[in-house]
Amino acid sequence: MDTALSNRNGLGLESAPRPAEGPCTAADIREMIGKFGAWLERAGYAAYDPYDLSGTRYGKWTRRLYYDRHALGALMAGQIVLLEIVCPGARALFVKKNRYATAEGQLVLAFLNLHQPALRVQGDWLAKARDLAEHLLQSSIGGYAGHCWGYPFDWQHANGLMPKNTPHITATPYCFEAFLGLFDATGDERYLEVARSTARFVHKNLRDTQDGPNAAASSYTPNDNSKVVNASAYRAWVMFEAAARFGVEQYAATAWNNLRFILQRQREDGAWMYAIDDPKQAFIDNFHTCFVLKNLYKINRRLANPEVAQAIRRGYAYYRRELFDGEGWPKTFALEPRRPIVRLEMYNIAEGITLGSLLADDMAEALPVALGLAALTRRRFQVREGYFLTRIYRGGIPHKLPFIRWPQAQMFYAMTNLLKVMVK
């Protein structure tokens, strides 16, 4: 069905964010995809990153002081934030462009979506996916039980330093899914072996921390014992998928432990804290909520478990109720760790579109929300060159420097996910 979708299954757009100003057609989405694809062809895959300045010596020192609540840390962080707002391109004086596995995994998935003839988007998308996958394979981090990926910069977070090229669970699953997708599209066993190898890393090198009856939180990296909920959701999905694909019972056992942690830690109102038992990370935000929900949905496509389905319904209800403001704009936080200076974060929009596309067949309001967010993006946030704004600060100041990892790859992937639903 290739229509405006203003009334799919008898549903209008009344539950979509009000700023969208009307429906978004499949032709509109194709136009957005084409403009972005042309820009990506010109720009290439190397880019700056919103956290690359934080990986410098000055940035790591700043964040360490800031997390320790030192007054100097707040002052130094303010300088970095001011530079980001006033002149984000000035980072070229301090850092170089780089390539990011998280983004490239999602770009491969987007290319594979576009390879489907039903989407009617011209281009040799499978060749692009295969070429990019070769670079992903070369950028895999050695020294572990299997293929794995991380960030190419040092990351000073609330509980310590994650050195560059530390593999982690929010990058690796996109690469795992990309190689599975390439195997499904081509039948090339080499891609399946990469995915099999990645599953070994996810199972053997990430840690489990017990948390309640028959439940365990997954670590973020091989070096921590954190209880980050979205990390456990990513790992549970990889393990369930790998168990089904490769017939390894231990994978399913690990996945169930991580899944029970997520289900048991859902609050009565339907939300999940970003992390458990960690006051420094006691917040509820938009795109991490989307991460949890989309992984639960992908898990339940295999399990068809009523308890998981109910958790998704409750979580999505919270997301719609508490993570959009009174005007229908996505909010960054429902429970804030600090007052945000960002009015609208494009990452939230991208993940909202993907989430709505996934849930479209099971929740009546999900597709209208995704369509509304896509229309909002088309009318206001895709620039003439073809890429998308990064964010809008309070006061209406736009951030126009394109970061591939945040959220260019995510938005492109989201639009291809939405188009798949629209042409069913």
Q: What is the pLDDT of residues 51-60, one digit of tens each?
A: 998 888 888 8
With residue 398 as reference, give the H or E element that holds it: strand 398-399
Q: For 282-321, write each residue's pLDDT tens digit.
A: 999 999 999 999 999 999 999 999 999 999 999 999 999 9
What type of residue is 351?
E
- With pLDDT > 70 as the criterion, what percentage of the chain qualifies? 95
Q: Is the pTM of this model over 0.85?
A: yes
Please give the mean pLDDT across all residues of the chain: 92
Residue with tokens 């339940």: 300
Taken as a whole, the chain contains a residue count of: 424
**Residue tagged 């203003």 (tokens):** 6
Q: What is the pLDDT of residue 172?
A: 98
**8 Å CB contact between 400 and 89:** no
pLDDT grade for 7, boundaries at 50, 70 and 90: very low
Task: Give residue 231's pLDDT.
Answer: 98
pLDDT at 21: 55
Q: For position 17, what pLDDT does the model report? A: 45
CA–CA gap between residue 103 and residue 40 (Å, rounded):
12
Q: 240-256, pLDDT tens digit by residue?
A: 999 999 999 999 999 99
**How do strand 216-218 and strand 208-210 relate by DSSP bridges?**
antiparallel
Own/partner contacts of 387-391, CB < 8 Å, gap of 24 or more, are: 387/36, 387/39, 387/40, 387/43, 388/36, 388/346, 389/346, 390/50, 390/346, 391/342, 391/343, 391/344, 391/345, 391/346
Q: How far apart are CA 344 and CA 391, in angstroms?
A: 6
Spatial contact of 162 and 168, defined as CB atoms under 8 Å apart: yes
- Please report, as a single letter, which amino acid is at residue 46: A
Q: 42: which residues sit within 8 A by CB, 6+ positions away?
A: none
- CB-based contact 35:25 (threshold 8 Å): no
33, β-bridge pairs: none
Give yes or no for a contact between 65 and 72, defined as CB atoms under 8 angstroms apart.
yes
Worst-scoring range by mean pLDDT, 84-88, 356-360, 382-386?
Answer: 84-88
Residues 128-156: pLDDT tens digits?
999 999 999 999 999 999 999 999 988 77
Distance CA 299, CA 294 (A): 9
